[in-house]
Amino acid sequence: MTKQQANWSPYDNNGGSCVAIAGADYCVIAADTRMSTGYNILTREYSKICKLADKCVMASSGFQADVKALQKQLAARHLIYQHQHNKQMSCPAMAQLLSNTLYYKRFFPYYSFNVLGGLDNEGKGCVFTYDAVGSYEKVGYSSQGSGSTLIMPFLDNQLKSPSPLLLPVQDAVTPLVEAEAVDLVKTVFASASERDIYTGDKLEIVVINADGIRREYMELRKD
């Protein structure tokens, strides 16, 4: 008598890639807009980016139904926070909340690979990167999703500081200027679209800085 196996899975992977880069006074968050299942494309115009608070934006790839549920949860919790504290949540606070929310479902996880980007209380850019169950770290840049194996090494090459042990102590945030960072993101996605079949169609870029939030789009390969 062999063990019974499920003949269906509660999860699906809708593909796509996300990237976030932190700067001295800005943060760039980007994701492609392709949603797929298996070898098929469901839509070319689906946004994986969600604004959680005034200075805090999340991009998530993975199973979009779980991503949507996660975004709604966080939005509701943020509303409660605003009622109680009369102000918006800061990015680091939201980062912790996201981690707790993910771990809450440790034994039936959200199939969602997230990067959180925004400005911290002092106006400096910050990026947090997560796994599916809430383990997170503050970093200077990160990528998640189907193209992350292609994107991450390239970002390391361009942005990685030599070693955190070196003196003088180097900031995690990149010395790049905002325009350079946006350019880098466009380059990175153009390259990822070449080799990753799940990444392409259109690139959505969100930039947060002291002036607020701005959105930009760029066409990517449709194949």
Partner 1 sequence: MFRNQYDTDVTTWSPAGRLFQVEYAMEAVKQGSAAIGLRSKTHVVLGCVNKANFELSSHQKKIFKVDDHIGVAIAGLTADGRVLSRYMRNECINYSFTYESPLPVGRLVVQLADKAQVCTQRSWKRPFGVGLLVAGLDESGAHLYYNCPSGNYFEYQAFAIGSRSQAAKTYLERRFENFTDSSRDDLVKDAIMAIRETLQGETLKNSICTIAVVGVGERCHILDQGIVQKIIDTFEIAAEQEGPAAEPDAATGQETAPEQGDAAVQGGSTDEGVAPKDI
Task: Single out the residue of 4, 9, 40, 86 in contact with partner 1 (rule: CB under 8 A).
Answer: 86
| Residues in CB range of 144: below 8 A, 6 or more apart | 17, 18, 59, 60, 61, 113, 114, 115, 129, 130
The residue assigned the tokens 């607020």 is 212
Site string for partner 1, 30-69 (x = CB under 8 A): ----------------------------------------
* Dihedral, 121, 124, 130, 134 alpha carbons, nearest 10: -10
76 contacts partner 1 (rule: CB under 8 A): yes
Residue 65: closest CA among 109, 15, 105, 14: 14
Three-state DSSP at 82 gives helix
Identify any residues that bridge with 217 across adjacent strands, giving them in sequence order.
204
- Which range, of 9-17, 72-80, 88-96, 154-162, touches partner 1 by CB under 8 A? 72-80
C-beta contacts of 7-11 below 8 A and 24+ residues apart: 10/108, 11/63, 11/66, 11/111
- Which range, of 78-86, 113-121, 138-146, 209-217, touches partner 1 by CB under 8 A? 78-86
Task: Single out the residue of 11, 42, 45, 79 in contact with partner 1 (rule: CB under 8 A).
Answer: 79
Nearer Cβ to partner 1 (77/186): 77
CB-side neighbour CA atoms (13 Å) of 151: 28
CB of residue 86 vs partner 1: minimum separation in angstroms?
6
- Which range, of 28-36, 58-66, 74-82, 101-109, touches partner 1 by CB under 8 A? 74-82
Task: Single out the residue of 83, 163, 166, 167 in contact with partner 1 (rule: CB under 8 A).
Answer: 83
Residues in touch with partner 1 (CB under 8 A): 72, 76, 79-80, 83, 86
